[in-house]
Each structure stands twice: as C-alpha cells, then as structure tokens.
Chains A and B, each alone.
Chain A
C-alpha cells in the first residue's frame, strides 16, 4: 500500500511541540501530530502514556503548557469544550457519550435542540428531533426501532455509533474518539470501526485514541505512538507492521522480558513432568510459541526512551 492516499495539504488539526505539565508532573512533552481531512490518525499508547491529556488539549479542556495548537492552519486557544466544538472539533468520550435514561432523539439533540415558535413560546420540536435523528442514524447504517427508546437499551457499540452520528450531523470537521472500542466485544467493535470508516469517507478527520492495536490497525492511515508522555513519532501504515506498533507501544524490552519469562515457565512445567492432560500440553506449547514470537519481534536497534 502506498502513502499516496494521505492528503499533504493543510492539516485540519495539528499540534506542534505541545507539552502539558501538571505541577511538577510532565504529562506530555514535545508532542507533534496532525490529522488531515479524510484520514484516520490513530493515537496509540499504553495506560499512562498521556493519551487522555492530549485528548483534553484537543477538546479544549486543558490549554497546552507549551507549543502550538492549529486548526486548519490557524493557531487557536480554546477556553472551553464549547469553543472547540464551535471550531468543528467534536470529542466523543468513552463513557460520557450518552445519557442512558434519555431517549435517542433527546440525546442526539441535547444542547442543540431544534426549536420552533418564538420568545417564551419557543418549544422543542420533538417531531423534527425524532425525524432527523432517525434519518441521520440510518445514513450511518444504524436502524433503530424507536428513537423514543432510552439510550440505555442500546449496546455499547450502538451508543458510540449514535454519538459519532451526532457529531457528524452537527458539522464536526474533526472527530476525536476516546477509546471508542474499549469494553466492546469483537463484533461490536467492528460496528464502531465501520462508522469510523464512514465518517472518514465523508471527509472528516478522525483522531482515534486506543490502546488496542488490533482495533486500530485495520482502520488507521497513520499512527502516532505515545509512551510515558513522549512521542515515538508518526508512522504511515505502509511503513510499519502491527507487531512493530505493539512493541513500540509497550516499550519493547518489557514485552521481550515477559516473552522470556513465559518461555521459562513452559520449560519448567515440561521438566517437572506434570502432564495433566493434552489440553495442558497444548497450553504450554502456545505459551512457548507466544514467548518466541515476542522475542522475534524485537528490532535489531532498540532506541530506549523512558
């Protein structure tokens, strides 16, 4: 696959050498990344890598302590999430996307209700809300029985999808998705990934934050890998393999050590002769294989960053 698909024009969203400090804690240091229209940029990192802090900078919750934040080439300073939203940057949070006890259409329009009438008689146009939310959802391929049903009746994947459809409808140019597939089953995650692909096809820039490479890899155009508040850099999908990405995320050595340890366990098991069943034998073999694979993943040169 070539990198030709990637737009080289002005990025929709870009950060340059951004850092964020909380007191003496360096949450992020010198992060640069960008996302173009029609591109999925995957922000990968293990727990504590600084993903959440970076999202909050994008979403206007925290201003960066250092560095520049540009939207469509112009430097911006967001004072609140509302400013970011107005600039077309919509953030869908993992568990705060929807309000379970409210209906789909009420959730869809919460904060931006369509209304008719004037002055004190301005009312929430419930029919329009139902109709628009149903249409928008079906455009994304989500078919709901009744937009009056509570969002709590939807599955986790459907909730994320509704949140994405909402952001798209309200004119988002950039979608920031915070762990949209965490806590979802394989099929569910697939559904969400499909909507991400649809949003990309509509020309949105997507920043997809996750620690799950298997969800990120199929959909991403580029990866930015964070580790302990620093960036390992940005890679086009064509330049890197899934295994390499995993290794960089976890900071290589630890996984390698784990691999050796697992191998050791398997050997010790075999040596003790405690063969209980063919299943156990199979499990041992699997552990042994996993350990070797992890070892093999190691790159010849390992630039250690800590």
Chain B
C-alpha cells in the first residue's frame, strides 16, 4: 500500500513516468472483437460437447452452420461499418426481398438477360442506399426511424407490385432462365471439401469482411467512419465530408442486402417477397455481439464476423442437439446481453479504466 502520495516531479525529456507500461497482451485484449472471439470459441466448445456426436463437429455440420453464418455475416459486416459510422439501417430486411423480386421478375417474367437483371437489382440497391442516406442527412431524424419507414415502404411496394404482375408473392422458375448455371456458380454453388459441400457464400463473406477491415483500418475513409460515428460535429470541424461518408455506408448495407438476395434467390431458384424478414435485427445483433458500440464510433468488421459465426453456430447447434428450435432465440437473447456487458468492460479497459 502506498502511504504517501509521491510529489509530482517534472518528467525528464522522453518518457512520462506517470504512465504505466501496458503489456502486449493487454493491448490485444482490448481490441473490440476480442469478446466476440472468446464467445465464438466458447459456443463452439459448448456444442462440441453437447452435440459433437450428433454431427456438429462433422464437415457437414460445419458447412451447415458456416452457410447460415455467411449470409448473416455479409449483412452484419456492412451493418457494423454503418453502426460505427453512427447510423442504423433497418431497411435491409425488405431490401433483400425487393432485390430478389426485381432480379427474378426481370429475368423470369420479362425475359431479361440474367446478368443484366442482377445488375438492375444492384442498381436498385445502390439508389436505395443513396435515398436512405440522403433522407437521414436531410431530415436529421434518427436513422432508426427513417429506415424503419423505408423498411415498411419497400416491403409494401414489393408485395403490391409482385401481386400485380404475377398474382402471387413468389416468383419461381429461375433455373429455366438461360445462363442460370453460370451465375449460380458464382453466387450459390458449393465447394466440396472433405465430402461436405461448403457454400461459396462463405468466400463472399470472408472477402467482404477482409475488404471492410482494410477500409476501416487502413484507409482515410475508415478513419472518417470512426470520426463521424464518434462525434459528427468534431469530425465536420476538421473537414470530414460527413454526407459522403454516411451515404456510402448506407449504400454498403444496401449492397450487402442485394448480395444476400442474389445468393438466396439463386440457391432457392425462386424469389419470395418475405425473404430477409427479421434479418435487419439479426444483423444488428451480430454486429453488437461483435463489439460494435450502439452509439457509434467504436467496433470492428472482424467482430461482426465472429458475431455472425456465433449466430450460425447457435442456430444450427440447437438443431443438432435435437432440442426444440424455439430455444434458439432464448440463447441468442442471453448472448446479446452478455456480449454487451463484456464489450462494455473491454471498452472501459481500452479507455484506460476511465469512465
């Protein structure tokens, strides 16, 4: 115990004697994604024990939960970037449905070239991202509300238009369109490893996560994302183009939704207006489990990868365990609360124990 307070002495040139040295281990532990990494390992060990002999550990089981994680992960990475930038995008849930329908309608009903139809749905997603970003910036309303509005609008218009054109809410027969096999190879094929078919979506997921991480940590744009989310006014004062950053991030989430739509539509050979329902929240949950701060300015894309992985493992692991799938939500809900607590602790440590 220190009895007396030491008299403060002026530090000699170079080091300040008042700052404690920190270990490399400590610096590793305070990375935003560490909580999610530990969580992913924990969840894997849990299911390896309780469901290991029921196929969870088999290549097939692994491929199974990775595929679930991949589709969610593509969304979660883009959502994580947007949330670090201080905004939410709830409209991705219906954007998935809308992009899938546009893709399928144009190619099946209107006989467009399948690649062109896909690019059209991409263009729609990009415009939607710009629209969301513009609306949020222009109205200064919370993006949670604005994109909740666009979520409903897009869903409604998609259902209305699809019923008008086809009389139903599903567009099927995509596999009869010329060029289907080629496009499927790119977005929805399986790669066989150790006798199990691993979805190519996993590659897309990892590629997008790598790109997002690079942008976030190694480009000026990434620095702007942290700045805009950390304190928009301060970022503006030093000349960060706030509007550009936010609109690009909204475009990012819309494009992620489009990619998931394409993967799902090609895999299922049909598009359904209700595809993607609820994924706006699962993506946010995965990002938060991955250490993204709800108020913005802090987080990582890698964390979102682990968040999605946890999601995939829990969802499929419960199936392997043979218990009722209803338990999935209970487990995920608990994980979410635990993750937020762990992440708060990590952040406190990163801030040097203050606040």
Binding site for B on A (CB under 8 A): 81-82, 85, 91, 93, 96-102, 106, 109-113, 115, 122-124, 126, 143-146, 148-150, 152-153
Judge whether B222 and A124 touch: CB under 8 Å: yes
Judge whether A97 and B234 touch: CB under 8 Å: yes
B352 contacts chain A at the CB level, 8 A cutoff: yes
B233 contacts chain A at the CB level, 8 A cutoff: yes
> Given the complex, which residues of A lie within 8 Å of B27, measured CB to CB?
148
| Closest beta carbon of chain B to A94's beta carbon, Å | 11
Judge whether B237 and A145 touch: CB under 8 Å: no
> Given the complex, which residues of B lie within 8 Å of A110, measured CB to CB?
223-224, 227, 235, 238, 240
Judge whether B224 and A153 touch: CB under 8 Å: no
Bound state CA distance, A244 and B217, in angstroms? Answer: 53
Judge whether A122 and B239 touch: CB under 8 Å: no
Q: A96-B231, A99-B226, A143-B14 are known contacts. Are A149 and B297 too (CB-CB below 8 A)?
A: no
Judge whether A100 and B351 touch: CB under 8 Å: yes
Measured CB to CB, the nearest residue on chain B to A113 is B220
Contact of A101 among B19, B238, B240, B298 (CB under 8 A): B298
B218 contacts chain A at the CB level, 8 A cutoff: yes
> Given the complex, which residues of B lie within 8 Å of A99, measured CB to CB?
226-227, 230-231, 234-235, 297
| CB interface residues, B 207-228, toward A, < 8 Å | 214, 217-220, 222-224, 226-227
Measured CB to CB, the nearest residue on chain A to B227 is A110
Judge whether B354 and A111 touch: CB under 8 Å: no
Name the residue among A100, A110, A113 with the largest chain B CB count within 10 angstroms.
Answer: A110
| Closest beta carbon of chain B to A212's beta carbon, Å | 23
Bound state CA distance, A85 and B240, in angstroms? Answer: 12
B326 contacts chain A at the CB level, 8 A cutoff: no
> Given the complex, which residues of A lie within 8 Å of B324, measured CB to CB?
none
Judge whether A102 and B230 touch: CB under 8 Å: yes
Bound state CA distance, A85 and B214, in angstroms? Answer: 29
Would you give the 0/1 interface string for B7-38, flagging 1 where the beta carbon is closer than 8 Å to chain A? 00001011110010110000100000000000
Contact of A115 among B13, B220, B227, B293 (CB under 8 A): B220
> Given the complex, which residues of B lie within 8 Å of A112, measured CB to CB?
238-239
B355 contacts chain A at the CB level, 8 A cutoff: yes
Judge whether A82 and B351 touch: CB under 8 Å: no
Judge whether A106 and B223 touch: CB under 8 Å: yes
Bound state CA distance, A34 and B224, in angstroms? Answer: 34
Measured CB to CB, the nearest residue on chain A to B19 is A145
Judge whether A150 and B238 touch: CB under 8 Å: no
Judge whether B234 and A98 touch: CB under 8 Å: yes
Q: A99-B226, A110-B240 are known contacts. Are A153 and B351 too (CB-CB below 8 A)?
A: yes
B163 contacts chain A at the CB level, 8 A cutoff: no
| Closest beta carbon of chain A to B10's beta carbon, Å | 10
Q: A143-B16, A153-B354 are known contacts. Are A111 and B219 too (CB-CB below 8 A)?
A: no
B350 contacts chain A at the CB level, 8 A cutoff: yes
- 14 new A-B pairs (CB below 8 Å) besides A110-B240, A153-B352? A96-B231, A99-B230, A100-B231, A101-B293, A101-B347, A110-B238, A113-B220, A115-B219, A122-B220, A123-B219, A143-B14, A143-B16, A145-B22, A150-B352
Bound state CA distance, A82 and B237, in angstroms? Answer: 8
B168 contacts chain A at the CB level, 8 A cutoff: no
| Closest beta carbon of chain A to B29's beta carbon, Å | 14
- Pick the 6 closest A-B CB pairs, nearest first: A153-B352, A99-B230, A113-B220, A111-B238, A111-B239, A96-B234
Measured CB to CB, the nearest residue on chain B to A152 is B351
| Closest beta carbon of chain A to B126's beta carbon, Å | 17
Judge whether B234 and A101 touch: CB under 8 Å: no
> Given the complex, which residues of A lie within 8 Å of B223, measured CB to CB?
102, 106, 109-110, 113, 124
Q: A96-B231, A101-B297, A110-B240 are known contacts. Are A150 and B219 too (CB-CB below 8 A)?
A: no
| Closest beta carbon of chain A to B235's beta carbon, Å | 6
> Given the complex, which residues of B lie within 8 Å of A143, measured CB to CB?
11, 13-16
> Given the complex, which residues of A lie within 8 Å of B234, measured CB to CB?
93, 96-99
Judge whether B16 and A145 touch: CB under 8 Å: yes
> Given the complex, which residues of B lie within 8 Å of A81, measured CB to CB?
236-237, 239
Judge whether A124 and B19 touch: CB under 8 Å: no
Bound state CA distance, A111 and B245, in angstroms? Answer: 12
Measured CB to CB, the nearest residue on chain B to A149 is B352
Measured CB to CB, the nearest residue on chain B to A154 is B352
Bound state CA distance, A102 and B234, in angstroms? Answer: 12
| Closest beta carbon of chain B to A122's beta carbon, Å | 7
| Closest beta carbon of chain A to B292's beta carbon, Å | 12
> Given the complex, which residues of B lie within 8 Å of A100, measured CB to CB?
230-231, 351
> Given the complex, which residues of A lie within 8 Å of B220, measured CB to CB?
113, 115, 122, 124
Q: A110-B240, A153-B352 are known contacts. Are A102 and B16 too (CB-CB below 8 A)?
A: no
Measured CB to CB, the nearest residue on chain A to B347 is A101
Measured CB to CB, the nearest residue on chain B to A123 is B218
| Closest beta carbon of chain B to A171's beta carbon, Å | 13
| Closest beta carbon of chain B to A126's beta carbon, Å | 7
Would you give the 0/1 interface string for B331-355, flagging 1 where the beta carbon is closer than 8 Å to chain A? 0000000000000000100111011
Would you give the 0/1 interface string for B100-117, flagging 1 where the beta carbon is closer than 8 Å to chain A? 000000000000000000
> Given the complex, which residues of B lie within 8 Å of A113, measured CB to CB?
220, 223
> Given the complex, which residues of A lie within 8 Å of B230, measured CB to CB?
99-102
Judge whether B22 and A146 touch: CB under 8 Å: yes
